[in-house]
Each structure stands twice: as structure tokens, then as C-alpha cells.
Structure 1
């Protein structure tokens, strides 16, 4: 056979054959109506069916196919993403999907990091949140009609989380009523914004405002980057792609430099801070109001932690029911690997966490909506709480989801290492969430500062009333209380679970506050004293955020119970909530043992109850991941296909590998054949 001939590989034609018998049996054993749980997750039957129509439309559209992505170069993937953007725009018109919610649903169904992500996720929300009415009338119609494509440029080569350290300068020129944008140093180069490299025509740029040599802080400016005629960069603008990344091959993350670029005065977004024609500067009502868009993105990230982790768990659980390894006894059939306790212990807490994060996502979205309503009325009283809470939850959820995806990949054994499993790409594309919109460790510091401040106020003023999620900081007597869950059954009491999480959080806050005082008594000023306790501050933020997640899960179940949700649904959600609560106590057992809150009297029944919960979830595991209702397109995984034909799908997808187009590999004649045929 010539090297140009295709290999003689078997054609399975079996990907769409009958479903795997084990998965069929698993689905038939569910203790609850799966469809009802799906309706609960997605907001009701009507909403679910609407999402399904869009998801099925995308899944059946060849333009949106995903299986080719494994075999494309980076440039080809970017070009394919542009094709999908164009088709996305065509579908909006064809199917009358003009509402923001419909378009969001369509993008989620496409399930790819398209170069319009920041356009809709940050560029437009920044105009809405920080532009005046006149600025919104000018730019929103253009942005929503995709007559301009925008991005959001805050991060620089030299600075990310430390926003006050940004070096890009916008100097006001009173003589022309213009701002002059300049990148005075190499480290002032904007670096990382998605769609900046090649796609965007416009950008919201965050820069230090300077008026008559006076620094006025960091503010957002609307800047046109490229010609709308030929897409060439405008004068004074240097822009391009930052090069290869760990993932995100479809996204043109870019760099941007300004060489004294002039923009009109009304291109500064002035809803809260204004610069008059004569250079008079009016300060914003709150020092952190310009962070509103970042808070919006954090709320979005917290919400997506659930769906991303749910995808990984869906793949791993389905595969673990199809995959069989080792008989328990000689001569017996091999076992589904999900029957092994270690596999359950790896996957079921993540399944519970995906549901916990779902309810936390609902909570943070409602909190953000309340914040926006207040902001429009010039009420910024909830901003400190919103900023701190979203910072802590963003950190916790993305850390757990990232680690969870990797756990799911490892749980799939060798096949999990294949890109065709979908898990390596899911992991690589998700882990930047631990860094963008606020580095997680820095976010923990922000929440911890907030908690320490409130704790100090509560100590100084007994009887002070604090908001719900931090009200435990008022209760110093909680530190003297100990766990009384001495039986397995008592560990299933939500009040006892929450008591443990509150006690741990308060104990860590109190210890952190005491350490801060001790460091200052050594002669350190407050800045150096805080620096000495930052490891403790991360633990404080995590502990509080765990409590918020559990509290929301417990409250959600109680609200569902009050609204008449069926007993089977309530039972399975309660089991998941119990596993979430007990698993993360077990995972951080040292925190609870160190100060005597728990003893061996409590830990033995704790471990035993966790084992019981794993057993209780096992018959419902497939049904619980099915309730997330992901299409095969959304999962993009040979291992997670709904029909369970894992091996057939894996084999067929492998045939698309370009190396398989010929029997003789490229380079064989030049490099391998000479030494194979060389004389000994």
C-alpha cells in the first residue's frame, strides 16, 4: 500500500447503536423523577424546554460541531470560532432571539469560548453600568447590533489584581477637551484581554486619570482600536495576540499599547465620576464603584462553577458505570468501577458540590440584582458586602471546581488523559477562572479584611446587628460551644452541620484578629502586621465561604419543602447536602479538632455516616448527572456520551486524527527508514 493510501481500519458504524445496557439499568433504578429535578435546576418546565430547543438546534448544526477541535491548529481553531460567531449572529436573526436572555442561552448551548465573550460579558455591561444615559444611547445600539465589537482592558503586563498600580495614563487636555492615552512603560502594556488581539474594534480601557498633574484614580474610557472600514489599528495603537497559552485556543487574548492616543472628553464613562470641560473633576459616590463590572463577572463565574463541575462529574459517573475492571471473586463478572468505594468517595462529593454551587449561584445572582437596583438609585450600601462575598465565593468555587475536574479526569484512568474524553480541555479552559477577574488568593484577602473589620466592630459594640451571613460574628459565646453529634444520625441534622461551619469560621476569624493584635504589639505597624497573618486570612475566607455555600444549600431545600416539592426530590437533595457538609468537615478535620470542637467521639460516627451517604447516592448517581440535562454536544466527550457507547465513540473519533490519513507516517522516509534499513 502506498503512503498516500488510507489505513484499512474497521468501520464500527455503532456510535448510534442501542444504548449501553448498564446505563439503561442504572436509569431504571432511580429513586426520584429525573425530569422533575431537571425542571428544578433550570427554573421550571417551560424554561427547561426552551433551553432544550436551543441546545438541540445547536447540537444538530454542523457549523457548531466540536469534535474537529481536537485536530485543528491554533490558527484554524480561531478561524473556526469566527465562523461560529457569524453563524451565531445569523441564528439570532433567523430565530428572533433578540432578548439578552435568549442570546445568553444560545451562547451557552454553543459552549465554546468565542471571541465575543467579553463583548457581551463585560464590554456591554460596563457601558450599561458606568455609562451615562447619553453614552448608553450612543454605544449600546452599536454594540448590541455587533456594529462594533468590544473588549475590556484592565490587566497589564505588570499589574493585575492591584488595580491602583495600573500604569496606563489618561491625561486630560483642557485646550482640546480630549484625553491623551499613553503607555509610558513596557509594563503598562495591556495584556491578556480576550478578543483584544485580532477581533475587537473597540475597548473599555482602565487608565489612571490625570488632570493638571493631579492623580484622580483609575477610570474607564471608551477607545476605538481599529478602523471599521479595513480593521487596521488606528494611529498610535499597537495591538496583537499574546501568543500560545495553556488552552483557550479559540480566543485571541491580546496586548495593547497607546502612543499619545487622543479621545474626546465624552469617551470617559461618566455615570459616577465626571470631568467637566474646564477640567473640574467630580468624585464618584463610592471609591469602588468602578469595580461593578468585575463584581458582575464574579457572580457569573460563581454560577458557572456548578455547570462546569457538573459536566466533569457527568462524564466521570457515566464512564464509571460503563467501565468494568476486576471481579470481586474469581469467576465472577467484572465490576462497574463506580461500585468501588474509592471511586464513589472521589466522585460523589463532587456531585454534591455541583448541586451546592447551583444554589449558591442562584443566591449570588439575586444578590447582584439587588445591588444593581440599589446602585441605580445611588444606594451603594450593599457594595462592601457584595464585593467581599463575591470575592470569597469566586475563590472557593473556582478552586474546588478546578481540582474537581482533575479528580474526574484521574478517575477515568488512562482514557481520561485522552483529549477525546473532553476532560483535559475542560480543565485547561476552566483553570484561568482561578486568576482572571481577581486572583483567588488576593480575593481571599479582601473577604478576610471585611470579616476582620466586622468582627472588630462587633467586639467593640456588643449588641451590634450584622447582616445574615456574617451575623455569627456577633456571637462570641459560640467559641465556647462544642459539637454534640455523637451518633451517625445526629450528623444528618442541618442545624448541627451549620453550627460546625459557623464555629470553625468564627474561631478562625477570632484567632486571626488576635494574631493581628499580637503582631502589632511586637512593634509592627498595621500594614506589616497584616502581612504576617495572610496565610491565616486565606483560611478565614475559605471557612466563611464554605459556610455561605452550605447555608444556601440548606435554605434552598427548606424553601423547596415549603413550596411543595415532592418527597423523592427533597430526599435526594438532602442526601447530597449532607454529603457536602460532612465531606468538607472530613477534608478539613484539623480545623475542627485543633481547638477541641470535635473529638474522636464525633469523628468515628462522622466517617461512618459519610460511608452510608456514598451507599445511598450510588443507585441514583446516573440519574443525578442526567438531571443536569447536558447534550452530547455540550459535554464534547467520548466517555460521557448519553447512550454509553464509550468505546465505539472513542474509536470512531480517533479516526479523525490527521496521522491516520495514511498508513506510512509523514517523515518516515526521511528519518526512520534510513536507520531501519542501514546495514548492521
Structure 2
């Protein structure tokens, strides 16, 4: 019985059109399919044995794949967009992620034109390989607390970089441990007897001839990380400096410089221009969240349709796990979230373009709001996605614990996103500061804009309660949006009121940090809901595509309301009866998704290679392949295990002899 084929025949919408919506355009869909096919059919990119490799073998194989990918880029003359897609489908964290994703953008964003002309051609050709060395053993999110020093010596026109204490050791940068020849290093600039704070420098750390660390440089890998394969394909490293000298012009000088005489000079280029790179990175992180979540949901959905448990009657088979409401109530909100994050990522791409256009005109008016919303959206999407991957593993029962399910490695590879580019709790506190400042400026007549525009209506939001009377009322987009606006506004106002009553603002902020995190999360979830709603106002191609997305949008919003019941009740916006109506309506929506669930994950268009999951196979042939996978495991290469003669046989023989002596 081909269960998944039967499921696909139930679909009530045009799956091919939904693939176009997910991809963004027909051109993007074709590009993705072409690059996915290229990678899946190249034996060098095999990954089925990844979780059984030792760390050294695993890392060496990653180097082989990266080198082969670079050869393909050159021989096939791939565009930058094609090359990026190809690296994504190789599905293995590698030094190239940091070289292209952090090292090069740092030079673009902080280097002068002269510096860019010197360093970028080398980086683009991979004649040098770079990393981004900011985080230290003792400092992560607090960048201003970094302890590495770069002291200017005017007698030689050089900087001298040092690691003065153990906690100043650079720790965690990817590509640093074994690969990078150069690093963008963040250090305290000391010149003319003053500390000018943290600045960026390009520092060579390994020889371009034999790859040995340069004099005064101590560098290595920080060790095995969580999971089997996961992020262990990346050489996260440590780095220490002992009087390492380099020329003055290797300080990235777009925003500030040091003269030959040692004078610190602030550039007339606005420092806000550096925010563009930050928005770009966070935009990419949000799109990655939708990608990783969609992969986990695909595996869990297909396996939930294949797996049967209980309820067999006569000749009828057991019930499909996906038919149980307990399974649907955990799985379908995650399916809806994957689509919500996809539309959010598209909006953030627009936001990035808008910010860059404004920065070019020296318009910095939207930066505070953009900084806050991108920080918060990075936080909630990565936290939710990492939790969701683990939930999908649980939804697959015991088999989800097998590496063959693809879920343990997916989780191990993704969960670092909760920490890199900003600890998620710290980022939410940044959002909270923005909300508190926005509320404080309302009294001065300053009207909030963008994602915070609703706070201009804070008085109405703080007094008008929900008007839902029957379950169908919850499907009104205006009703849903007003609910999320009221929740966010009331939580923020409550925090602002209590902070105002504290002995001082900072003390109040510290005391109320937990409540502020809740308010920030509410603000960010409002953004996601409204972006999903806005996306559905556009013309979308294909039969019943929009109606299916509308169901998912309602599931996303109502599942948040039922999950955050405490917020809505404690602020007095909703009643217990209205919460019950939301739960009942959710059950109705789950029933609408049920016949379309497998088709909705098919629309993600993930190949079997990319999923890397026996449970999530497109053909649904799970059990035969689980058994075959087990037979191929290195542990089963011999019927008698290594160590039998040394450790098992003596124990058994001893017990047999004891037993016989008693007879």
C-alpha cells in the first residue's frame, strides 16, 4: 500500500503552484531544482555515512566537498546566486560559510575603497581564506567588553596585537581552527595613550606557503561539539596573539582611522552605514529558519502519515498517526509556522533593500526600529525553529531518535543559531529597550512608524477588549491583528509603568527583565502574524493556493493565542470563553489541513538527498530502508563484534564454569 501516494491524491490545491509561491518565483524554483539536482547526483557530495565518521575524517571530507564545490563554480562558471544555492544544498557547515558570509561582507562594510580593492579580489578568488574573529572566551554578546588589544606603534607604523589575559582568547569563530589564513579581528584600539574601544583589523594568522601559524600566533580547534555530524564539520577555533605586528593600513578604516603619528580620526562616513550588513545577516538567518523548519516538518508529516498505531478492527489497518488530534495539534502549527517564516523572510529581504536605499541617502530615520525588529525576529525564529525540530523528532516516536531519521543531525546543525549573531534573550532585551523608548516619546508627540506604528494607538488598545462572540469571529483578520496588537501594547505599557515607579530606570529594567522579554516576544510575534496576513493580500497563482495559505495563517495566529493564553488573560484582553472558542476553531482548522498535509510539505520541494531522512522519504518506503540502513551500519560488518574474545567470552565462560561446578 503506497500511503503517501494516496495522501497526495487528497490534495485540494495546486501543489506545483504552491512550490512557486514557496520559492518566490518560477525562476527561483527552477534555479533551486537545478542546483539541488546537481548536488544530489554528484558522488563527492554523499552524506549518508556522515554520522558514523570520526571527527578528523568528517572534517577532511568537508574540505574535499568545499574544494570540489569551488572547482564546480569555476568550471561551470556559476553565478554568485547559483554558487550560494549549491553550497546550501550541499548541506554541510564549512569554512566557506564564514569566508563568504562574514569575512567578505566585513571588508565590504568597514573597509575603505582602497582596502576593498586590495583585499576583495584575493578573497573572491579564495587566494586567501578568511574568518570573523569577534567572540572571546570571556565575552560574547558584550562586544564592548572584548579584551584583545591592538596598540599602535608610530615608530614602525604598525599595530601590535596581544591577548593580555586568558579570557581575551578568541573562541568559537568558524573557519578559524584549521582553515583560515586571515581573520577580521575585533580588538581594543590603543593609541596616543588612550583606549578608543573596539575596532576591526585584518590580520594574517597562517602562512600562505605552508599554512603554519605565523610567529606569535597560537591557533587551533576548540573540540567536538554537540551531535554526531551536525556542526562538527566546522572548525570553530581559538586564537591568541603574542606581540603580533601588522601594518597600520590593515585596520579597517571606513568609519575611523589612525594617522602615522598615532592620532585617532573619526571618518565623516556615518557609523550607521554598518547596520546594513547586520540587517543582511539577520535576514538570511530568518530565511534559514523557514528552510530548516520546513525540512523537519516534512519528515514528521510524511512519517506521521506512514506510521500506524492502534485502532485496528477486523481487516482494517491500524489508524494513521496523523489522524490523531494529539498529533495534529503539535504538528500542524509547526507546518503553519514554516510558511509564516517564509513570508517573513521575503519581507525582510525587502526591508534590507529599503534600509540600504535609505542609507545611501543618509536617511537613518528607520534604523532604531529596523535594528529592534531584526534583532527580535532573529531571536524568536531561531528559538522556535530549534524547539520545533526537537518536537518533530518526538512526533516521530522512537525512530526519530535514530540518526537515520535525519532529525538529530538537523537539530545539532541548527541549534547554534540560537546563540551566534546575538544571544536570543539579549536580543529580546534590545527590542524591549526600543519599545520602552517608543512609549516614552509618545508624550512628546512623536509618532511611531513601521512595525511599531500600532503603539501610536496605545490608549485604544489598552482599553478596548476583544469582541469575539462565536468561533467564526476568530477568522476575521482585523480581529486577529487587533488581538496581537492589544497584547503587545498592554504588556509593554505594564512594563513602562513599573519601570517609571522604580528608583531609577536601569534598576527597573533589570528587575523587570523577564516581563520585558515577554513584551518583546509579543511585539515580534505580532510582526510575523501581520507579515503573513499582508502576504495573502497579493495575487497568488494556482487553484486554491490562497485558501490553503489562509487556513495556515489562521492556524499560526490561533495556535499562538492558545499557547500564550496567560498573556491575553493577564492583560484582560480576552476572556476564558474566547480562549475556548479559539481552541475549538483550531480543531476545525486542523481538520481542513489534514487532507492537504502531505501535499503542503511536498510544496517545499525538498529532495530525498537534501532531507537525508529515511523517515521522510518521498516514496514512504520507510521500514524496508530502515532495516537496510541498519544492515549497512559499520557495527554490523561482522556477526561477532570486535572485543568478543577479550571482554565477552571470558565473562560467559567464567559464569558457565561456576554454574557447572554447582551441579
TM-score tier (shorter):
over 0.9
2:500 corresponds to: 517
1:361 corresponds to: 345
Q: Distance in 1 between the 2:651 and 2:577 partners?
A: 70
For the residue of structure 2 that corresponds to 1:483, the secondary structure is: coil
1:338 to 322, 325, 332: 322
> 5+ unaligned residues in a row in structure 1: which ranges?
1-19
2:62 corresponds to: 81
Alignment of 1:376-525 (within 5 A): 376-458=360-442, 460-462=443-445, 464-475=446-457, 476-520=459-503, 525=504
1:544 and 2:523 aligned: yes
1:182 corresponds to: 162
2:567 to 584, 588, 591: 591
1:555 and 2:534 aligned: yes
1:574 and 2:553 aligned: no
Moved over 6 A (4+): none
Q: Distance in 1 between the 2:436 and 2:257 partners?
A: 34
1:150 corresponds to: 130
Q: Distance in 1 between the 2:347 and 2:599 partners?
A: 25
> What are the superposed Cα offsets for residues 526-554 of structure 1, whole Å, 9 maximum, x if unpaired?
32221111111110110000000001000
1:270 corresponds to: 253
Moved more, 655-664 or 482-491: 655-664
Does the 8 A contact of 1:183 with 1:257 survive in 2? Answer: yes
For the residue of structure 2 that corresponds to 1:116, the secondary structure is: helix
Moved more, 229-238 or 44-53: 44-53
Q: How many angstroms does 1:594 deviate by?
A: 1.4
For the residue of structure 2 that corresponds to 1:51, the secondary structure is: helix
2:508 to 521, 529, 541: 529
Q: Distance in 2 between the 1:600 and 1:22 partners?
A: 40
2:661 corresponds to: none
Does the 8 A contact of 2:296 with 2:407 survive in 1? Answer: yes
Q: How many angstroms does 1:488 deviate by?
A: 1.2
1:565 and 2:578 aligned: no
> What are the superposed Cα offsets for residues 623-673 of structure 1, whole Å, 9 maximum, x if unpaired?
100000001111111111111111122222223321111111011110000
Q: Distance in 2 between the 1:667 and 1:288 partners?
A: 63
Q: How many angstroms does 1:332 deviate by?
A: 3.3
Q: Distance in 1 between the 2:29 and 2:167 partners?
A: 47
Q: How many angstroms does 1:386 deviate by?
A: 2.1
1:253 and 2:233 aligned: no
RMSD: 1.5
Alignment of 1:15-26 (within 5 A): 21-26=2-7
For the residue of structure 1 that corresponds to 2:617, the secondary structure is: coil
Does the 8 A contact of 2:14 with 2:543 survive in 1? Answer: no
2:100 corresponds to: 120
Q: Distance in 2 between the 1:26 and 1:517 partners?
A: 57
Moved more, 282-291 or 103-112: 282-291
Does the 8 A contact of 2:158 with 2:248 survive in 1? Answer: yes
Higher relative contact order (CA 8 A, sep 6+): 1
2:174 corresponds to: 194
2:623 corresponds to: 647
Mark the CA change 1:127 to 1:377 in structure 2 (over 3 Å): closer, same or farther: farther
Q: Distance in 2 between the 1:169 and 1:162 partners?
A: 16
Alignment of 1:149-298 (within 5 A): 149-247=129-227, 248-283=231-266, 290=274, 292-298=276-282
Moved more, 538-547 or 125-134: 125-134
Q: Distance in 2 between the 1:70 and 1:309 partners?
A: 21
1:621 corresponds to: 597
For the residue of structure 1 that corresponds to 2:141, the secondary structure is: coil
Does the 8 A contact of 1:302 with 1:393 survive in 2? Answer: yes
Does the 8 A contact of 1:318 with 1:639 survive in 2? Answer: yes
Q: Distance in 2 between the 1:330 and 1:203 partners?
A: 68
Does the 8 A contact of 1:122 with 1:293 survive in 2? Answer: no
Does the 8 A contact of 2:18 with 2:542 survive in 1? Answer: no
Q: Distance in 2 between the 1:232 and 1:214 partners?
A: 34
Mark the CA change 1:528 to 1:445 in structure 2 (over 3 Å): closer, same or farther: same
Q: Distance in 2 between the 1:241 and 1:612 partners?
A: 52
Query: Matched residue pairs, number?
Result: 651
For the residue of structure 1 that corresponds to 2:533, the secondary structure is: helix
Q: How many angstroms does 1:302 deviate by?
A: 1.2
2:633 corresponds to: 657
Does the 8 A contact of 1:286 with 1:380 survive in 2? Answer: no
